[in-house]
Amino acid sequence: MKPYSKMSKEELQQEREALEKKYEDAKAKGLQLDMSRGKPAAAQLMICRDMLDAINGSSDLNSSAGQDCTNYGVLDGISDIKELFAELMEVSPKNVMVCGNSSLNIMYDTISRSVTHGVMGSTPWCKLEKVKFLCPVPGYDRHFAITEHFGLELINIPMGENGPDMDMVEEYVNKDEAVKGIWCVPKYSNPTGITYSDETVKRMAALKPVAGDFRIFWDNAYALHHLYEEEQDTVLEILAECEKAGNPDMVYEFCSTSKISFPGAGVAAMVSSEANLAEAKKQLTLQTIGYDKLNQLRHARYFKDADGVRAHMKKHAEFLRPKFEAVLKVLEQELGGLEIGSWSTPKGGYFISFDALSGCAKAIVAKAKEAGLVMTGAGATYPYKKDPQDSNIRIAPSFPTPEDLSVAAEIFVLSVKMVSADKILALK
């Protein structure tokens, strides 16, 4: 089929009528489909069930260093789990602090500490007239929500094929003292699936911020989430790059097992300089006497080492890969050549990023919802939920069953076609 923009008005009207009939047929089925969040499906989570047997009532409940996992204490994580995260993140255990089940919680606390008490003796952000934060877009909605919650001014930084626009990042960071941080998802970024190039990581680590309390918030959420064994993206280890560039304290890295073990009962960690971790621990001692060490022990005993985690991730890929490929196949078959949308083809992570014609994203998401398909809200991948082009839509293929996913993809492409046809017809 030729591009919609090249069709005559009569041809496009006929196409629109045919689409309407298919759409009404789909609507009549009364479907309830959900592609709104990047959640593992119930069947996928079954591969972790035997983790619950890693410790039991007769187990030795001390860490390998003799730490009692049933009692108070050990604020920064038992030795076994710190060593596991260190191996996975390619750092030293001294640079790892293991907390509860949520890396998002650690990020929130880190922003909160900066706002109320400052960073390493600097003025608390709440006492400054203006605090700005850089947000690569499209990006992760929950990142933006945290900094918006604390009243920070959020600045869009366009994402390219190698990561954020580093010319723009350098311009802001190296010249504006009000710029205090940047959100980053360096590997299989949410939602684009982009992995930062070596040059991007090196330039990020070599920033010369005017603000001494500037920090990179490096959310390495998808470090191990490959879809293909033979095609895996790699990203430079940021902590080492910062040290080489003379900025050892400039980065906070976050990671977790949320999409490795159980999303609601995993283990999360912050990786940073010893100075940054020491400062964080000062305030954490007021929040908790220690996190769930039995869960840390359970994870360490189950996975044993980094190779154990990598082997486990291959099982996750077996579930996810066919789902991504199914959606991408429908997009190509139904939208290829029509020039009404473009999409990412990620090699890992949990999302596909779709860019519709300008001004169409909200209408597409609304049209899909009317037919029974719930998607992430249009605009969610931008600060303040304001996509200036109203074009980006995040597709999350992981949660629906394979059967539901094929139906959901069909509803989505129908919605894209109908809204796009309406836009082009209005211009003819």
Looking at residue 354, its pLDDT comes to 98
Mean pLDDT, the chain, as a whole number? Answer: 96
The 10s digit of each residue's pLDDT in 187-216 is 999 999 999 999 999 999 999 999 999 999
Question: Can you give the three-state secondary structure of the chain, one letter per residue?
Answer: CCCHHHCCHHHHHHHHHHHHHHHHHHHCCCCCEEECCCCCCHHHHHHHHHHHHCCCCCCCCECCCCCECCCCCCCCCCHHHHHHHHHHHCCCHHHEEECCCCHHHHHHHHHHHHHHHCCCCCCCHHHCCCCEEEEEECCCHHHHHHHHHCCCEEEEEEEECCEECHHHHHHHHCCCCCEEEEEECCCCCCCCCCCCCHHHHHHHHCCCCCCCCCEEEEECCCCCCECCCCCCCCCCCHHHHHHHCCCCCCEEEEEECCCCCCCCCCCEEEECCHHHHHHHHHHHHHHCCCCCHHHHHHHHHHHCCHHHHHHHHHHHHHHHHHHHHHHHHHHHHHHCCCCCEEECCCCECCCEEEEECCCCHHHHHHHHHHCCEEECCCCCCCHHHCCCCCCEEEECCCCCCHHHHHHHHHHHHHHHHHHHHHHHHHHC
Question: Are 41 and 70 in the same domain?
Answer: no
Looking at residue 149, its pLDDT comes to 98
Question: Are 346 and 237 in the same domain?
Answer: no
Looking at residue 342, its pLDDT comes to 97
Query: What is the total count of domains within the chain?
Result: 2
* pLDDT (mean) for 67-85: 97
Is the confidence at residue 383, as pLDDT, over 80?
A: yes
The 10s digit of each residue's pLDDT in 136-173 is 999 999 999 999 999 999 999 999 999 999 999 999 99
Question: Are 17 and 87 in the same domain?
Answer: no
Is the confidence at residue 1, as pLDDT, over 80?
A: no
Q: Are 357 and 391 in contact (CB under 8 A)?
A: yes
- End position of a domain, from candidates 254, 281, 304: 304
**Nearest of 184, 182, 215 to residue 113 by alpha carbon:** 215
Q: Which of 31-35, 214-218, 397-401 has the highest mean pLDDT?
A: 214-218
Q: Is residue 331 part of a domain?
A: yes
Return the structure tokens found at 397: 């293929």
Question: Are 272 and 329 in the same domain?
Answer: no
Question: Are 366 and 273 in the same domain?
Answer: no
Q: Are 14 and 406 in contact (CB under 8 A)?
A: no
- By DSSP bridging, strand 268-271 and strand 251-256 are antiparallel
* pLDDT (mean) for 63-90: 97
Read off φ and ψ for residue 372, nearest 5 degrees.
Answer: 100, 10
Question: Are 133 and 192 in the same domain?
Answer: yes
Question: Are 95 and 207 in the same domain?
Answer: yes
Alpha-carbon span 289 to 294, nearest angstrom:
14
- End position of a domain, from candidates 240, 270, 304: 304
- End position of a domain, from candidates 248, 281, 304: 304
The label of the residue with tokens 């930062």 reads 196
Question: Are 110 and 23 in the same domain?
Answer: no
What's the CATH code of the domain at 259? 3.40.640.10
Looking at residue 67, its pLDDT comes to 97
Q: Is residue 50 part of a domain?
A: no
Is the confidence at residue 428, as pLDDT, over 90?
A: no
Return the structure tokens found at 32: 């309830």
The percentage of residues in the chain with a pLDDT greater than 90, rounded to a whole number, is 96
Q: Is residue 53 part of a domain?
A: no
**23-32, 349-358, 360-369: the lowest-pLDDT one:** 23-32
Question: Are 152 and 116 in the same domain?
Answer: yes
Looking at residue 369, its pLDDT comes to 97
What's the CATH code of the domain at 348? 3.90.1150.10
* pLDDT (mean) for 94-114: 97
Alpha-carbon span 197 to 79, nearest angstrom:
32
Alpha-carbon span 191 to 225, nearest angstrom:
14
Looking at residue 31, its pLDDT comes to 87
pTM of the model: 0.96
- By DSSP bridging, strand 153-160 and strand 132-137 are parallel
The 10s digit of each residue's pLDDT in 280-322 is 999 999 999 999 999 999 999 999 999 999 999 999 999 999 9
Which domain, by its residues, includes 285?
A: 63-304
